[in-house]
Every structure is written in structure tokens, then in C-alpha cells.
Structure 1
Amino acid sequence: MSARELVVLGTASQAPTRTRNHNGYLLRWDGTSVLFEAGEGTQRQMVLAGVASPRVERICVSHRHGDHCLGVPGVLARMALDAPGRTVTVHGPRDAEAHLRALASVADADVHALVEAVDATHDADVPVAGVAGARLSARLLDHRVPAVGYRLAEPDGRRFVPGALAAAGIAGPDVGRLQREGVLRGVRLADVTEPRPGQVFAIAMDTRDHPALDAVLRGADLAVVEATFLDRDRDLAERYAHLTARQAATAAARAGVRRLVLTHFSQRYTDPGEFAAEARAALADVGADVEVHVAADLDVVPVPARR
């Protein structure tokens, strides 16, 4: 099993369907888990997906619309059942703070729910938390109520080059010594390593196309983006402040996303293939190499291997 992967718990916008639960996206990242969105029924989807609730460190909600947060009480209740007395942090925009506190109160569960509001803006990433050595941040998007996109970015680092180590005569415990001390027998760490870009996960739910969307998605190895409508209904997307599959794919191309997960589908559509076809056509139009995955409930999508 990949140490970094997305478990899709629900893919429906507004109303669930026979095949789509309300939104829920669990990111497994180096031994911990972050739940993004918790629509109605998320607790049951976690059971079906085999998700261990004690590993969920925090819940990140994009905004206060019900299809993104009405499952919070059930998730907290499940956490209290599996690991009573534990602490979990719930994040959301300032506009949703009172809503999230009320939902945590409704749960009335043996879990310490800390609700932390994010004062996000369109213009900069706002720090949210540290997650297993990576930086979780948020940025305000463009929806009918304040909604944020989240970005989890691992710091850039360096990795050893086996051939360079062998040429320098560094092996066994000496590799660790060199890493700790920086220099060993005249060999510098920089002599036997190369840059290792940090991995990036991004999620952007309800939003119109906006420069802030590009900022949330920039350089993401794995990006989850709403595609509520198809382009033939672009007027509805604009009216209700959502994206089409074409707009989502085009934004991913602009931002240099590697693997794009489309989700948050309107119940008016029954053929997921239409979303894939529209997104891939948009990418072909701009000559972008972005892998497209049209999400289905209970899919597991790995974060791509490092470049």
C-alpha cells in the first residue's frame, strides 16, 4: 500500500445519488490521515473503505454548505467509538466557524474537537498546520460563500546518488554520519546528493475559475478539483459559482498538475466518461501532459511517484 494516497469517500455535489455519496476525501500521508470534506454519510463510507478513524488527525472543510460538512458529527462520533478521549482538529474558513462549532456540539461525543478558523485571502497561502513534516495551507477561492482550497506541500530536500556515494567510498553507517555532520573525510553532503523536490497535494472544491485556483494547484503532484458541470452547461457553472470539467482541466494544465482527480459531480449527469472526454480534450487543446482520473466512490488514487 502506498504511504501517500487518496481514498475517495464521496463524489456527489448538492444531493447524493444511488452511486455517489456526498463529498469526502481522505489523504493518507506518511502514517497519518487528513479528511478533506465530510458530507452526509461520510462515517459509513469510511467503514466501507476500510479507513481507520484513529489515524485521522484533522478534518479540513472548504465551506459551510451541507454537502461538504453535514457528516462532521457522525465522523466525530465514529472517532469517539474507536478511540475515545482523543483530540481532532477541525479547520474551515472563518465564515464557517460557528457552523462547525455547532456540528461538533451536535456530535456530543467523547472526543475533543478543536475548531480552528482560517482567515484566508485570495492573495496568499495562509498557514493552517504541519502534517508529518509537510505544510498545510489554505487560500480563499471564488464561491457564493467564502470557500477555501487546501494545499499540502512537503519541503524540498536532497537525496543520495548511489553512484556518487560509491565513488566517494561512503557506505554503511558512514552514510548516516555524512548526513548528520555534512562533511566526512573531505566529502561534502552536496557532493553525493541531488535536489529532491517535495511532493504536493492540493484540493479545490466549490469555486469559479479564478487566479487563486491556479495558486492552490501550482505544481501539485495530485490535485482534487471539482467538476460540477460539463461545458455545455457553463452558464449554470458561472451562475452557481462552480467549474466545468473543461475549466478544471485547463486550470490544472496552467498550474502544472501531474495527476488530476475530477469530482463533485451534479446529479444531472449519469455518464462519468463525459467528464473524462471533456477534460482530456481540453488538455489536448493546450498540449498539456496531465493524467486525468474521474473519481468514483471508494476509489484509491496514489500520489504519483517522485519525478
Structure 2
Amino acid sequence: MRTTLDVRLLDPTGNEPGLVVDLRDERRALLFDLGEIERLAPRVLLRASHAFVTHTHMDHFAGFDHWLALALGRVPHFVLWGGPGFVDQLEHKLRAYTWNVVHRYEVAMTIEAHSFEADGTRRHARFTSVDRFARGDFEVEAPSSDDRVLLGEPLFDVRASLVDHEMPVLAFAIDEKAQVRVAADRIAARGLATGAWLRTLKDAVLAGASDDTPIDVEWSDRGGRHAERFNVGELRPLVLDTVPGRRIGYVTDLRFTPDNVERLVALLEGADLLFIESVFLDADRDHAARKNHLTAPQAGTIARRIGARKVVPFHFSPRYRGREAELRAEVAAAWGGVVHDA
């Protein structure tokens, strides 16, 4: 089935960290980590609405400058999430530049920065081009149902948990919400055409709306533009069925410790798709411990504990260029399944 989110690694080889999540039918994308994003087409970067940064090591965050240079004067709003101290770090990055003309750009830019602190609190700031990216702190209401939710939307949630890499790092879960399939032939038979009203109908059906709930339907065809009001009961026959969404995990840069494993199980149990770093071969496990990274068998063990249904290893050490198949094989042996490349 065609899903809400189209997910792929930033680097098709799996060597560099980063995840791209395209929101189908919305011309919008989410980015997870901002490392070597130069390999992404500008059209992808310009439609990104949010970036979720695991931590600010250069290979995960140095690409922010590339995004900023591309987006200035084009992108009006961008949201970033990071771990402890992230708001302060972004402020320092912006203050490193001279902004003597940016306040006159025709398209003003607002950057929202949010940090998920070690004690579970959150900090928030805005940086606007009209104010030459001076910092302005603000407060937002924290989610009440799950304190790990960073972004909640009708189609998906993004949740996070801190893990240890000899520094705090964010691991992410992307939870697609249940999806409704509609029948294109039934839509045509009613003399209608697809449009934004379908999203309204789907949301209403998923929310259990009553049959008398009104839905405003607007569509265009050869006869011109049309608008008509129906109710959910009249449109419900267009719906085929409801299917559950997926849970997608993005995990990178962490030690193999019992506490980290338990945190990941709590965040990602039953994940349908798990992207997990697999940096070193088992023969180099001592080096992996010194570097605070996972070996391929450790990544596979975590995937098994989580109960992941599909696993994509990535973030391979440069020492294994051309030997990535060995890393994937060790992940597969520990996980007990067939791993996939990017």
C-alpha cells in the first residue's frame, strides 16, 4: 500500500548519517541530521519544514550552513529540534555571521529552535531575519499524552529519547498514524475529483466523526471549479478500509549499554522499519567501545530486542569502504533476518 511517509537514507551507500522523510501529497519533507546534505537536491532541502538533529558532531550538523545559504530569501519558516544545549549552540552558529543586509530580504525567515534537555524540560527560541537573527525566547505547551513527543501532526508523531554516546544524543521514532484508503473509481462515479477535501474526510473517519458531520468538497474538472457540502455519511462509501501506520526508528551514535538498549526498546518496540548505525565489525569491538559506537552484531541485537520487522544498517566506518556487505551480514546474523541496504 502507498504510505503517508516516503523514507530514505541521505546517503544511498549507507556510509554517512542522515534520513530524509518525504510527506506524500504535501510537497514537504523532514530531515533527520544535517551532515552531508549537499548530496540532496536543492528542491528537497527547500521543501524541508523540520530538521531533527541527533547531536552536534560535525558529521551530523555541519550541513546546517549549507541549508541556510540555500534557504535565505526563499524559505520563510524552519523548525529545528536538538538535544541538551541545542538552542544555545544554534544561537552561537548564527551569531558567527554578519547580518547587515538580511533584514531587507523580500522573503523574511524565521528559524524556530527547540532543545530536549536531559531533565526532560524543553527550551525554545526564535531567530528572525528581520531582527538579524537576534535570539527571542518563548514558551510552548508541552504535550500532555507523551512527554517524548516533539512534533504531533494529524498524520504522524515524532518522538525522541536520549541515549548515551559519552554525551547525550537523541534517538527518534516516527509514528505514522492509521491511514484510510479511498476508492478512486467510487470518487469518479460520484462525479467528484480528488482534492484537499479527501484529507478532511480521512481525518473525520479516523476520528470517529458522526455521519452528519459536514464536509466541504471543492474540485475542478473540465466544467470548471465546483464546491458542494456533503456529510460524512454520504461520503463514507468512498472509504475502502483503514490500515495501521508504521513505526520508523532512526538510531545513531550510542554506546552498547543496558540502559541505552532499554531506552530504545521503550521508544521503538515493534518498529516496522529501523535505521540503526552499524559502525564497526565485531572484530573491532574494542575500538568501537573506545569510540562509543555500535558494532554490527550489537546493532542486530538491539534490533532483535526491539522486535524490528525490517532493519537498514548505516553509518559504516570508512575503514570498511567496499566491505559494507560484511557489516550487513553481521547485523543480519544477530538480528535473525535479512537486512536491507538504503
Verify same fold: TM over 0.5: yes
Whether contact under 8 Å (1:73, 1:106) holds in the other structure is no
Which residue of structure 2 aligns with residue 294 of structure 1? 341
Query: What SS is found at the alignment partner of 2:320?
Result: coil
Distance 1:198 1:120, change over 3 A: farther
Map Cα deviations across residues 38-89 of structure 1 (whole Å, 9 max, x no partner): 11x31x2112xx75223201111001211111111111222225x24x1101
Residue 19 of structure 2 corresponds to 25
RMSD over aligned Cα, in angstroms? 3.7
- Structure 1 residue 2: deviation in Å? 6.6
Q: Which amino acid aligns with 2:39?
A: Q
Change (3 A) 1:225 1:27: same
Q: How far does residue 213 in structure 1 lie from its aligned partner after superposition?
A: 2.0
CA displacement at 1:138 relative to structure 2: 0.8
1:101 pairs, out of 79, 88, 91, with: 91
Give the alignment partner of residue 157 of structure 2, picking from 110, 113, 135.
135
Instruction: Give 1:228's match in structure 2, choosing from 279, 284, 287.
Output: 279
Shift in Å, 1:220: 1.9
Q: Are the equivalent residues in 2 in contact too, given 1:72–1:104 (CA < 8 A)? A: no
Structure 1 residues 33 and 128, CA gap change in structure 2 (3 angstroms): same
CA distance in 1, matches of 2:56, 2:331: 28
Partner of 1:249: 300
Q: Distance in 1 between matches of 2:335 and 2:116?
A: 33
State, as a whole percentage, how many aligned pairs show the same letter.
29
Segments of structure 1 that go 5 or more residues without pairing to the other structure are 12-18, 163-170, 296-307
Q: Work out whether residues 141 and 212 of structure 1, in 8 Å CA contact, stay in contact via their aligned partners in 2.
A: yes
Residue 45 of structure 2 corresponds to residue 53 of structure 1 = yes
Task: Give the match for residue 262 of structure 1.
Answer: 313
User: Structure 1 residues 125, 275: closer, same or farther in 2, change over 3 A?
Assistant: farther
Residues 76 and 104, structure 1, Cα contact 8 Å, conserved in 2: no
Aligned-pair distance for 1:292? 1.4
Deviations 1:3-40 (A, max 9, x none): 522232238xxxxxxx777432211133321111111x
Counterpart in 2 of 1:151? 173
Structure 2 CA distance for partners of 1:200 and 1:20, relative to 1, 3 Å: closer
CA distance in 1, matches of 2:272, 2:96: 37
1:63 aligns with 2:55: yes
CA contact 2:4–2:176 (8 Å) conserved in 1: no
**TM-score, with length taken from structure 2:** 0.66
CA distance in 2, matches of 1:238, 1:230: 12
Structure 2: gaps (5+ residues): 103-107, 121-145, 184-188, 192-200, 213-230
Q: Match for residue 225 of structure 2?
A: none
Aligned residue number for residue 123 of structure 2: none
Aligned equivalents of 1:70, 1:273: Cα separation in 2: 28
Aligned length: 265
Task: Give the TM-score taking structure 1 as reference length.
Answer: 0.72
